[in-house]
Structure 1
Amino acid sequence: MPEQTGTQQPDSIGRQAASGVLWLIVQKWAIRITGFVTIAVLTRFLSPEDFGTVAAASTMLPFFYLLADLGFAAYIVQADTTDRRMLSTGFWFSTVAGLLLAGALILCAPLVGLVFRSEQIVPVMQVLSLAVVFTATASVPMALLRRGMRFRAIAAQGSVAAVVAQVVAVGMTLAGLGVWALVGQILVSLFLTAVLAWVAARWRPAFAFSYAEFRVMARFGSQVLGVEFVAMFRAWAEAAIISTVLGMAALGYLNIAQRLVQIVQDLTGAALVPVSTVAFAKIRGSSERLRSAYLKALRMTYAVMSPPLTLLAVAAPLVIPIVFGDGWEQSARVAQVLALAGLLVVGATLDHGLFYGLGRPGRWFLYALFIDACTVAATALTAQWGLEAAAYGFLAVAVLATVSRWFLVARLLQTSPRTLAGPFGFLAAATICGGGAGWLVLALTDGLAPLVRILLIGVAVLLAYLVIVRLLARQLVSELRAYLPRLPAKLGGQKSGPAASDLAASDPAASASSASTPAASVPSMPAPAGSELKEPS
């Protein structure tokens, strides 16, 4: 029997969206807090070349993930109805394709080694081919969990898999296995996530394959595939340029800087893509509600993600030695610039969920093609002047990406670019004031212990941010007050009534007032659909 999805009430959707965001944020905090301890150990035993080797090998994996999935997971998440025949068709295609592509990855590894001028990358890639199989076989169960908005289960299984993988990585490092500790961490995390996804989904495929269903899913999936393929090619090209021009150690320094920025982004906004895709898909029938929900989510995204990224943009030179140990100082300046770029494109994760939730991946593909081409070109032009110059190239593209998305989303939501630029005004003011206060504290506290300086900088950034909220974005205060009381009930597993901050809440006045109320991949694509399986936490 087909599964119907369009009968849920707005309040129910809003409650599930709020709960989903909360649980995925809890997951990321659990993973990243333990991950800090893990990476603090690994960076003291492994070299920048080790991290660079795994980073280079990992850039190839997403190409094979995408070909194995063919965008079917994204189709399942947003489809109006599903049935066992359609789901089984997606599963059998992904499984067979995953096995074939894993073999292809083993065969092409020597060619990739020639491109990166590294012999060590070859065996690493060949062993990592198992990751393609794990990801492909769990694609449909993960899509079903997301479709059902079962983000609590996703959060639990992701946390368990990540923590176990981190323990394995530390053990392998202490045993002297070097770069293979990083490989083991990736494979253990993906394997456990896949197994737990099957257990949680409680779904089993039938021995059936429908060519009619395959064609329908392939038409949608081809557009998703185009988006993600472009993004992965961009990541691969960046890594190839950096390693070729500046060396594998430089790629390792860049990887550590990107990891630090990604940690901050994950702890605040990682839940946006999986939750917003489903939530927007469920309310896409009402354009007014959709605009209201999007603008409210945009303001909340800016509010949550801007303070920690601003803190990192100021305090990265203090944070990196504490977290990663001595010898990683070259990552500090790069992390500062990438944090600024991350601030500029902070809304990209939400926009990604919007276009996928509305079934418009083709438009996002055009955006991705343009921005990622600019990113690769900027990297090629600036890398000759060093790693910091390449980071500034990313920052320049981030400005272009932000402005271009205003026009792209405005057309989709039938509103004006000025309406979408309004919340960004708050972000700019908060970043300038918060960053200025942080830099002042950084200059005045020279000589104090690094941890004390980081704490004082954080307090200064937060106070400046609260002042800007009070002056420019009072609407945020009421929205945060409506959201925060939900947290104890959600953490305790209790039900609560609809709140004003529900993603799907209908607020006809919001879209009208947002134009006049300035409330609120580093330029890279968000993780591809189903990427819960792919992150080497």
Structure 2
Amino acid sequence: MTDEARAAPRQADQPGVGSRTAGSVAWLMASRLMARGIDFITLVVLARTLSPADFGLISVAMTLIFIVEAVSELPISQSLVRLDTIGRSHLDTAFTIGLIRGGLLASVFAIAAFPFSWIYQDARLVPLILFLALSPITRGLQSPAMVQFARRIDFRRDLIIEIVSKLCGFSLATVLAVTTHSYWAIAAGTVATPIVAMVQSYLFAPFRPRIGLRRWRSFAGFLGWASVAQALGALSWQSDKLILGRLIGKADLGHFSMAADLSSVPEQVLVAPAMRPLMAGFVTMRESRDRMANAYLRISQTLLTIAAPAMTGMSLVAAQAVPVVLGAHWVSAVPLLQWLALAPIFVVWVSPLDPMAMAMDRTSLFFRQRIVEVAIKIPLLLTLISAYGMAGAVIGRLATNLILMVVTMGYVRQLTGLGIVRQLVGPWRVIVATLVMAAVIRSLPDAIRQDLSITAMATTVLCGAFVYVVTLAALWLASGRPDGIEQMVVTRVGGLTRRRRNQAA
């Protein structure tokens, strides 16, 4: 590829952008679903083999890893996607930035490991942090040439990379957990996954890097705001664990970390995969404010249609699922999960802002958003955790997410003109259907809800899913069949049925 080579035509010039975006979301969602399925199986094996204290120790170490990684995180791929032309020098610059970042990360972790272990009074943190540092360093060295597939809104290779790397991490962690019963099993699986992913990226997108920063100006402005925002976001995201790690024991922190990790599963599976192709889709609409507004509202409602019942359902079945799946020694995580599972709903409600703002080159919004988040969350958590411990952390997360949802809706109004009230009432069918589902599950006989068996848990889940789907369909029909995910499903099913009839004829 030469500097004069033109990149693939912009998505607006190609037919079928909407269908390709939807297809890519489906690919990434399938990838994330399978990957999180592997993660979940890994979690179950490790939870039944290791102790909550082991998870608490890893959680403390990973808190530092997450924060430092996010502080140095550079959205290089997103920067490349939005360029009209990508030459060889752009790819070399992207790789060089990642290499420099890796060297800085290694230095920071080497310097921070000892004082961090002293603060948390556990010498085991030093080797753990130094080893776990390989994970973010490796993630930043994947082949920048993978961007060619992202620009075509083609993420099938991402599915293969994620699944294969997760399987390798799972295999290593499981073998070590069963044979050693050591917390190092978690660390080994964590590091193995990005290493395997990096190797695969160069197999799918061969690239022989040359060191150079010739095109650094193409990344500078975009990376600046986004990087600072990510640093603040990471500090906010890990703040509850940072504070709790100083005030409670490793076992209690393990219970909180387990509940927090489980509560994030629906968002990671159902929402996160949509963000990358959504940015490419928003790029094609950025010249029209009205199109952006309508697309934002439609996407927000679609994501909530899928995520809200999943998150609410997790909260409702936590008392059955945790002892059945993880074991009796994790029961203390149940009340934490019941509330933490609801907190991401407020995040999902406004999640399309990120790809939309990137597409519109308004990344400074991220900085303002994170400033507000840190200013609200950290003082609130310090006050609540000091007074109520883990319960205070749960209350703080719920309250912060709710406040930030309203604040983010204000930013959406600035970009698109969508009023806050319209954003709140837009997904009313989802809200009503979810509340009906919750009421039905809560009214199930105690013989089902208190039965700690897989059969009873499956009965609860299937009953809730059936009630939700039926209620949502009824509300859609009563509303006159407006555009939305319901119409899309009906259209797709109808088209599939017609094709099968034509083939049979």
Query: What TM-score do the two structures reach when normalised by structure 1?
Result: 0.84
Whether the 8 Å CA contact 1:6–1:80 is kept in 2: the answer is yes
| Number of positions where the alignment pairs a residue of Structure 1 with one of Structure 2 | 487
Q: 1:446 to 1:322 in 2, by over 3 A?
A: closer
Give CA deviations for 1:399-446 in whole Å, capped at 9, x if unaligned.
212222222112211232222222243333233222111111164635
Q: 1:80 to 1:466 in 2, by over 3 A?
A: same
Displacement of 1:68: 4.9
Unaligned 5+ runs, structure 1? 489-537
Whether the 8 Å CA contact 1:116–1:240 is kept in 2: the answer is no
Question: Letter of the aligned partner of 1:93 in structure 2?
Answer: I
Q: 1:23 aligns with which of 15, 24, 27?
A: 27
Q: 1:111 aligns with which of 100, 112, 115?
A: 115
1-structure distance, mates of 2:273, 2:496: 15
* Residue in structure 2 matched with residue 431 of structure 1 by the alignment: 434
Whether the 8 Å CA contact 2:8–2:151 is kept in 1: the answer is no
Question: Letter of the aligned partner of 2:310 in structure 1?
Answer: P
Is residue 199 of structure 1 aligned with residue 203 of structure 2? Answer: yes
Displacement of 1:146: 2.9
* Residue in structure 2 matched with residue 260 of structure 1 by the alignment: 262
Question: Letter of the aligned partner of 1:400 in structure 2?
Answer: I
Question: Letter of the aligned partner of 1:480 in structure 2?
Answer: V
Whether the 8 Å CA contact 2:149–2:155 is kept in 1: the answer is yes
SS in 2 for 1:165: helix
Q: 1:216 to 1:173 in 2, by over 3 A?
A: same
Q: 1:150 aligns with which of 140, 154, 168?
A: 154
Displacement of 1:362: 0.8
Q: 1:187 aligns with which of 191, 202, 206?
A: 191
Q: 2:362 aligns with which of 357, 360, 363?
A: 360
Worse-matched range after superposition: 156-165 or 451-460: 451-460
Q: 1:148 to 1:259 in 2, by over 3 A?
A: same
* Residue in structure 1 matched with residue 469 of structure 2 by the alignment: 466
* Residue in structure 1 matched with residue 321 of structure 2 by the alignment: 319
1-structure distance, mates of 2:236, 2:340: 16
* Residue in structure 2 matched with residue 532 of structure 1 by the alignment: none
Question: Letter of the aligned partner of 2:416 in structure 1?
Answer: L
Is residue 61 of structure 1 aligned with residue 65 of structure 2? Answer: yes
Displacement of 1:42: 0.8
Is residue 128 of structure 1 aligned with residue 137 of structure 2? Answer: no
Question: Letter of the aligned partner of 1:109 in structure 2?
Answer: A
What is the 5 A alignment of 1:237-256?
A: 237-256=239-258
Is residue 416 of structure 1 aligned with residue 450 of structure 2? Answer: no
Is residue 52 of structure 1 aligned with residue 56 of structure 2? Answer: yes
* Residue in structure 2 matched with residue 269 of structure 1 by the alignment: 271
Worse-matched range after superposition: 393-402 or 342-351: 342-351
Displacement of 1:69: 4.7
* Residue in structure 2 matched with residue 533 of structure 1 by the alignment: none
Q: 1:484 to 1:158 in 2, by over 3 A?
A: farther
Whether the 8 Å CA contact 2:259–2:337 is kept in 1: the answer is yes
1-structure distance, mates of 2:255, 2:450: 26
* Residue in structure 1 matched with residue 460 of structure 2 by the alignment: 457
Q: 1:439 to 1:336 in 2, by over 3 A?
A: same
1-structure distance, mates of 2:193, 2:307: 26
Displacement of 1:266: 2.6
* Residue in structure 1 matched with residue 502 of structure 2 by the alignment: none
Displacement of 1:38: 2.1
Displacement of 1:221: 0.5
SS in 2 for 1:14: helix
2-structure distance, mates of 1:68, 1:298: 29
Q: 1:67 to 1:231 in 2, by over 3 A?
A: closer
Give CA deviations for 1:351-391 in whole Å, capped at 9, x if unaligned.
22222222211112211221233222222122231313321
Displacement of 1:193: 0.8
SS in 2 for 1:3: coil
Worse-matched range after superposition: 372-381 or 221-230: 372-381
Q: 1:202 to 1:285 in 2, by over 3 A?
A: farther
Q: 2:410 aligns with which of 398, 407, 412?
A: 407
Query: Larger RCO: Structure 1 or Structure 2 (Cα < 8 Å, ≥ 6 residues apart)?
Result: 1
Is residue 137 of structure 1 aligned with residue 141 of structure 2? Answer: yes
Worse-matched range after superposition: 358-367 or 138-147: 138-147
Whether the 8 Å CA contact 1:84–1:205 is kept in 2: the answer is no
Q: 2:378 aligns with which of 376, 380, 403?
A: 376
Displacement of 1:101: 2.1
Give CA deviations for 1:170-202 in whole Å, capped at 9, x if unaligned.
001112151111111111101011111122223
Whether the 8 Å CA contact 1:145–1:201 is kept in 2: the answer is no
1-structure distance, mates of 2:496, 2:92: 37
2-structure distance, mates of 1:132, 1:29: 22
1-structure distance, mates of 2:251, 2:146: 36
Give CA deviations for 1:128-168 in whole Å, capped at 9, x if unaligned.
12223211211634544433323110011101100111011
Question: Letter of the aligned partner of 2:399 in structure 1?
Answer: A
Q: 1:459 to 1:430 in 2, by over 3 A?
A: same
SS in 2 for 1:209: coil
Worse-matched range after superposition: 347-356 or 123-132: 347-356
Whether the 8 Å CA contact 2:300–2:350 is kept in 1: the answer is no
* Residue in structure 2 matched with residue 480 of structure 1 by the alignment: 489
Whether the 8 Å CA contact 1:241–1:380 is kept in 2: the answer is yes
Worse-matched range after superposition: 60-69 or 310-319: 60-69
Q: 1:414 to 1:325 in 2, by over 3 A?
A: same
* Residue in structure 2 matched with residue 233 of structure 1 by the alignment: 235
Whether the 8 Å CA contact 1:306–1:431 is kept in 2: the answer is yes
Question: Letter of the aligned partner of 2:487 in structure 1?
Answer: S
Unaligned 5+ runs, structure 2? 498-505
2-structure distance, mates of 1:264, 1:451: 20
Q: 1:447 to 1:311 in 2, by over 3 A?
A: closer
2-structure distance, mates of 1:342, 1:142: 30
SS in 2 for 1:365: helix
CA RMSD, 1 decimal: 2.4
Worse-matched range after superposition: 185-194 or 454-463: 454-463
Is residue 80 of structure 1 aligned with residue 80 of structure 2? Answer: no
What is the 5 A alignment of 1:271-310?
A: 271-310=273-312
What is the 5 A alignment of 1:167-182?
A: 167-176=171-180, 178-182=182-186
Question: Letter of the aligned partner of 2:303 in structure 1?
Answer: T
What is the 5 A alignment of 1:440-519?
A: 440-441=443-444, 443=446, 445-446=448-449, 448-473=451-476, 474-475=481-482, 476=484, 477-483=486-492
Displacement of 1:313: 1.3
SS in 1 for 2:352: helix
Q: 1:63 to 1:345 in 2, by over 3 A?
A: closer
2-structure distance, mates of 1:166, 1:73: 27
Q: 1:377 to 1:358 in 2, by over 3 A?
A: same
Q: 1:68 to 1:308 in 2, by over 3 A?
A: closer
Q: 1:219 to 1:334 in 2, by over 3 A?
A: same
Whether the 8 Å CA contact 2:72–2:227 is kept in 1: the answer is no
Whether the 8 Å CA contact 2:91–2:145 is kept in 1: the answer is no
Worse-matched range after superposition: 9-18 or 120-129: 9-18
Displacement of 1:262: 1.9
Q: 1:430 to 1:118 in 2, by over 3 A?
A: farther
Question: Letter of the aligned partner of 2:168 in structure 1?
Answer: V
Give CA deviations for 1:260-284 in whole Å, capped at 9, x if unaligned.
1222223322312122122212332
